[in-house]
């Protein structure tokens, strides 16, 4: 079947694609373990999104399966081999400053605005509708096609870990969760805490006591807000003036106010995906730098001085002695996703480190541990995912390259990213769209959106890709 067939068939169901995408986007599928239940282990919203997709698949005549309410799949066709399409239904928290309801799926200026529009609910629906087009075309397939639905991609990947313990592994596949043309290499991803040694005594003679500090929600997001509460011993005016000067110097927004004898400082930043921290403005790091300039108590002084020296305005690990670059995946990057401190327990930094495919992780880890030991800090690894890349001459890449070039008329350039997609769950898996070259990447940002034109275009590309890989 020619590429034009898939374009024409996709155009016929354009309104349905938009409608179903909006319905999925209106479900607030943010991780909520505090309110988890036996049948909703990651929270009610995530379970609702999973149920929605499985019910949709069932109603359209696909075979569906729920795997412990953490994942599921929608399948068609027959054969020994499986073509996998790996998607995720969870989204990062919406954050602040949206122009419209983050879960309203409002359409304006040719775009759908919602958390998850581009990462990853919009692309998930595009891939689902592509499967439906292939199914309804009546073409004979030699492989099964299985959409695997994860629900914990933005956190700890418990979904795919559980899924592949119980279900078979596709022989090849793609994840519609990054950029077009084709992402064949992904950095290693390491989440860990840097924790302050709490044996430092409080300096009672200090002019300023840092009572608490809080910034960030997730390892893989640049924090867009930070807040500190200080006991200042009648220095509120002096500190406030210095703070206002700091904000002005760095072109930041923020405020200072006194409530019941406590001086509160707040900084606004710009959120971005943790794979490139320089695309955002880290509110936590800026507020930490300001606090480091004050005459604070010893415990706070040691912690915030460390943050300023080793993490502030250094997303490449140079100060920590672990900077690295290769020609396949570029720079090692460090995102400070969370920053917390209180006068009793000390400080804790949540780090999302992404390293190139040729970086020797064990050696880098040992170097970092030595630096932290000298600074009276320790490390606690939360998760680690090794780098991933696929041979550029494989059947998978050659097939997807052909599809992309026929559909767009543009060269299918192979690219690498710092982000981690479900593609790395497969031995032969790549990320394939949905972000087209030249489009702004607004994943994890306020006012996240996807162009309707791109949603429809991606659906046609995925339909042809499924057909070519499984025929």
Task: Decide: residue 309, CB within 10 A, 0-12 exposed, 13-18 middle, 19+ buried.
Answer: middle
**How far lies 51's CA from each of 59, 72, 75, in Å?**
12, 9, 15
- Clarify whether 314 is annotated catalytic: no
Q: Could you tell me which residues come within 8 angstroms of residue 468 by beta carbon, excluding any fewer than 6 positions away?
A: 399, 402, 403
Whole-number Å distance between alpha carbons of 431 and 190: 20
Whole-number Å distance between alpha carbons of 57 and 135: 12
Six-digit token string for 201: 């005594």
Kindly report the number of other CB atoms within 10 A of residue 102's CB atom: 24
Q: Which residue has the tokens 């049948």?
A: 39
What does the DSSP 8-state code read for residue 445? Answer: S
Kindly report the number of other CB atoms within 10 A of residue 438's CB atom: 5
Decide the pairing of beta strands 209-215 and 434-435: unpaired
Q: Which residue is catalytic, options 9, 94, 153, 375?
A: 153
β-sheet bridge partners, residue 148: 73, 86
Six-digit token string for 258: 């006194």
Half-sphere exposure of 282 (CA within 13 A, CB side): 32
**How far lies 287's CA from each of 208, 233, 240, 318, in Å?**
15, 20, 13, 21
Decide the pairing of beta strands 178-179 and 434-435: parallel
The length of the chain in residues reads 471
- Clarify whether 120 is annotated catalytic: no
Backbone angles phi, psi at 444, to 5 degrees: 70, 5
Angle at 117 between CA 112 and CA 122, to 5 degrees: 100
Instruction: Decide: helix, strand or coil at residue 311.
Output: coil
Whole-number Å distance between alpha carbons of 25 and 44: 15
**How far lies 166's CA from each of 21, 153, 397, in Å?**
29, 18, 28
Closest listed residue to residue 420, CA positions, set 123, 20, 237, 153: 153
Q: Which residue is catalytic, options 90, 94, 186, 331?
A: 90
Whole-number Å distance between alpha carbons of 222 and 398: 36
Six-digit token string for 115: 């958390």
Six-digit token string for 192: 């860990």
Q: Which residues are catalytic?
A: 90, 153
């Amino acid at each position: 079947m020619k590429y034009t067939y898939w374009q024409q068939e996709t155009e016929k169901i354009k309104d349905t694609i938009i409608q179903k995408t909006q319905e999925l986007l209106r479900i607030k599928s943010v991780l909520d373990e505090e309110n988890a239940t036996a049948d909703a282990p990651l929270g009610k919203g995530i379970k609702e999104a999973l149920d929605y997709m499985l019910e949709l698949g069932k109603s359209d005549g696909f075979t569906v399966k729920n795997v412990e309410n953490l994942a599921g799949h929608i399948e068609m066709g027959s054969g020994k081999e499986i073509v996998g399409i790996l998607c995720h239904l969870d989204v990062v928290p919406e954050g602040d400053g949206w122009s419209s309801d983050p879960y309203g799926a409002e359409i304006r200026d040719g775009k759908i605005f919602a958390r998850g529009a581009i990462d990853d609910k919009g692309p998930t629906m595009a891939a689902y509708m592509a499967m439906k087009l292939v199914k309804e075309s009546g073409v004979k397939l030699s492989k099964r096609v299985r959409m695997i639905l994860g629900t914990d991609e933005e956190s700890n990947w418990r979904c795919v870990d559980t899924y592949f313990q119980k279900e078979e592994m596709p022989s090849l596949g793609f994840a519609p969760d990054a950029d077009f043309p084709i992402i064949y290499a992904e950095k290693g991803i390491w989440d860990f805490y840097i924790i302050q040694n709490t044996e430092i005594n409080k300096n009672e003679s200090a002019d300023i006591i840092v009572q608490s500090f809080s910034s960030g929600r997730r390892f893989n997001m640049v924090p867009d807000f930070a807040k500190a509460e200080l006991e200042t011993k009648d220095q509120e005016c002096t500190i406030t003036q210095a703070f206002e000067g700091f904000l002005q110097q760095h072109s930041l927004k923020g405020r200072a106010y006194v409530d019941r004898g406590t001086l509160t400082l707040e900084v606004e930043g710009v959120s971005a995906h943790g794979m490139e921290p320089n695309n955002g403005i880290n509110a936590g790091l800026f507020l930490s730098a300001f606090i480091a300039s004050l005459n604070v108590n010893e415990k706070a002084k040691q912690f915030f001085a460390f943050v300023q020296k080793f993490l502030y305005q250094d997303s490449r690990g140079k100060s920590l002695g672990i900077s690295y670059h290769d020609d396949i995946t570029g720079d090692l990057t460090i995102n400070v996703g969370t920053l917390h401190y209180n006068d009793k327990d000390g400080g804790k930094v949540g780090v999302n480190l992404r390293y190139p495919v040729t970086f020797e992780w064990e050696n880098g880890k040992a170097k970092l541990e030595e630096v932290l030991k000298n600074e009276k800090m320790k490390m606690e690894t939360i998760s680690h995912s090794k780098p991933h890349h696929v041979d550029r001459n494989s059947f998978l890449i050659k097939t997807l390259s052909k599809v992309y070039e026929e559909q767009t008329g543009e060269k299918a350039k192979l690219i690498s990213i710092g982000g981690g997609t479900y593609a790395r769950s497969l031995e032969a898996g790549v990320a394939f769209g949905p972000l087209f070259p030249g489009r702004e990447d607004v994943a994890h940002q306020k006012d996240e959106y996807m162009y309707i034109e791109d949603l429809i275009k991606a659906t046609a590309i995925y339909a042809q890709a499924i057909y070519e890989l499984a025929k």
